[in-house]
Amino acid sequence: MKTHKIEHIKSLINKYYAGLSSKNEEKHIAKFLINNPDLKGFEAERAIFGYFYQHKQKKTYFINRYLKYSVAASIAIIMTTTLILKMSNQTRAYAWVNGKKISDIEVVKALAQESLSNVSVNADIIENTLAPFKDNNHKIQEQLSVFSDVELLTNDDEH
């Protein structure tokens, strides 16, 4: 081990005890002590920085575990949702009558027909309402056809 490196670490440790060291310097001390476990004269510091290092290791482990669980849970949620949706798509025929659920497809279809009949009756109303206008439209066309010759004459005059 190079003496100047040890001296540098010692100065950093002194700085640490004086409360003047930066985080990077503390990391540097910790890294040095971990990489040189057999170096004598640093037992107290090794205990201090070793504690912090262990603490940090535990935190990393917790994060890794949390990440694994999160990803697993997310995949499970997505897969379950997909499965439920696929299953529900196969037999998605439901009706609620007064809040009571019915899943018999024939009953549901009958209810659908019934509800649709309420609006289809009115579809005829629209057609019926428009019918007089259609008739009028024919009449207007007929009446205007009388003037079609006039239009041709007007065009000839222009030339």
Partner 1 sequence: MNIKIQILTLLFILTGLGFAYAQSGTEDLHTDKVFTAYGKAKGSIRVELDLRDDEGYYYKSLVTENNQKAIILAKSCIEKDKKNAKRVKEVYSDGKPTTIYLSLNPKDGFYRFILFNDNGRKKMTLVYIESENKDILKIILKKQ
Name the one range near partner 1 by CB under 8 A: 1-9, 44-52, 119-127, 145-153: 119-127
In the bound complex, what is the minimum distance in angstroms from residue 97's beta carbon to partner 1? 5
Nearest-Å Rg of the Cα atoms of the chain is: 44
Task: Count CA within 13 A, CB hemisphere, residue 54.
Answer: 6
Q: Provide the minimum distance between the beta carbon of 55 and partner 1 in the complex, in angstroms, as a whole number.
A: 15
Backbone angles phi, psi at 14, to 5 degrees: -60, -40
Residue 10's contacts (CB-CB under 8 Å, 6 or more residues apart) are none
Integer CA distances (angstroms), 138 to 8, 94, 134, 142, 148, in order: 105, 47, 6, 6, 15
Cβ closest to partner 1, residue 20 vs residue 77: 77
Interaction mask 47-76, partner 1, x per CB under 8 A: ----------------x--xx--xx-xxx-
Does residue 109 belong to the site contacting partner 1 (CB under 8 A)?
yes
Stretch that binds partner 1, among 28-36, 115-123, 133-141, 151-159 (CB under 8 A): 115-123
Q: How far apart are CA 6 and CA 9, in angstroms?
A: 5
Q: CA-CA distance, 135 to 141, in Å (whole number)?
A: 10
Site for partner 1, rule CB under 8 A: 63, 66-67, 70-71, 73-75, 77-78, 81-82, 84-85, 89, 92-99, 108-109, 111-120, 122-123, 125-126, 129
